[in-house]
Structure 1
Amino acid sequence: MSLTPPTGKLQTAAAGFLAFAMAVTVGTALGFEHIGGFIPCKLCLEQRVPYYIGVPVMLVALTSAALRWPPVITRGLLLTGGLLMLWGLGLGTYHAGVEWGWWAGPTDCGVVAPVESAGSLLDQLNEVVPPACDEAAGRFLGLSFAGWNVVASAILAAVALSGAFKR
């Protein structure tokens, strides 16, 4: 297992798939927030960070693979994407565990509502109830958003690491 064997179609496909899938995953979370009205908690927001970093990294990996840059660059970028998704897997697992009550979450978990005007600050604070990290906003097929992030992160990590180490 080395990062120096030549790169080919597998690395190009993996980088392209990962850039697209990471963007769709974080875009879906943003859609639920901005279109669906779900207010993310502190842990929800933290789970997005690996995707925010990963999408541009995978775009560079795709460029590297397409332009036949040295294999160590493409494979190193894919490895970086895999590590980012393993980080995301850890964050999602932690959050899902907090939601299921397996362990305690952070004591400062909540979100600060954006202030539109100082005059209506108290009204806004009364209307917006910050979400708690230990309560899932909803479940689909038995999994919360954090649970689905675990699934997505595991799949994306496997694809990235496969692209980094397979010939």
Structure 2
Amino acid sequence: MTNLAKARLLALILPTALLAGALGSQYLGGLYPCEMCHWQRWPHYAAVAVALVAILARNSALSRPLTLLAALLILGSGATGIFHAGVEYGWWEGLTRCASAGVGGSTADVLAEIMATPMIRCDAVQWSLFGISLAGWNALFSILGGSAIVALCLKRPR
């Protein structure tokens, strides 16, 4: 397997795995995402799509730039994770208000759902491991485990 093929595969697998973890913690673990949690997911969704196109275009000159774009998207999610972790730990002020899950239906249904859904604060750590929040783990995996390794795999040999 070539380095470019490895980079394409990693650019697909890493954001897919991170999204699976985020969605699993939401739907199976009951951790509702705040607005900044969603901000971290959007670049991963885009990275998955771009990496899929890069894999489909593997024999094209577009494969390398698309894979690099996927790495940059993963890096963007990691940068957002750093910002979110800083807000959670009180290092700086956040940009958002509290958020709740989206609802639909009649007015009474919407009101009942709003009242039953907890307010999710972007500046409160809902879960951590070894003192690192989910936003921090996303930053570590996205920057060190993802975009950096993809970029190294894309480096052309001299």
Same-fold call, TM cutoff 0.5: yes
Report the alpha carbon displacement of residue 44 of structure 1 after superposing the two structures with TM. 0.1
User: Deviation per CA, 1:34-74, whole angstroms, max 9, x where unpaired?
Assistant: 12221100000010011100012112222333xx222xx22
Letter in 2 for 1:59: L
Report the alpha carbon displacement of residue 113 of structure 1 after superposing the two structures with TM. 3.9
Q: Percent identity?
A: 31
Q: How has the CA–CA distance of structure 1 residues 75 and 107 changed in structure 2, closer, same or farther, with 3 Å as cutoff? A: closer
Do structure 1's residue 135 and structure 2's residue 124 form an aligned pair? Answer: yes
Higher deviation after alignment, 119-128 or 78-87: 119-128
State how far apart, in whole Å, the 1-side matches of 2:113 and 2:57 are. 48
Equivalent in the alignment of 1:3 = none
User: Deviation per CA, 1:61-92, whole angstroms, max 9, x where unpaired?
Assistant: 22333xx222xx22211211221122112100
Equivalent in the alignment of 1:157 = 147
Equivalent in the alignment of 1:56 = 49
RMSD: 1.7
Equivalent in the alignment of 2:82 = 93
State how far apart, in whole Å, the 2-side matches of 1:112 and 1:139 are. 21
| Larger gyration radius, structure 1 or structure 2 | 1
Q: TM-score, normalised by structure 1?
A: 0.85
Query: Structure 2 unaligned runs (5+)?
Result: none
State how far apart, in whole Å, the 2-side matches of 1:135 and 1:100 are. 8
Query: Structure 1 unaligned runs (5+)?
Result: 1-7
Q: What are the within-5 Å matches in structure 2 for residues 1-167 of structure 1?
A: 9-65=2-58, 68-70=59-61, 73-154=62-143, 155-167=145-157
State how far apart, in whole Å, the 2-side matches of 1:107 and 1:44 are. 11
Runs of 4+ in structure 1 displaced over 4 angstroms? Answer: none
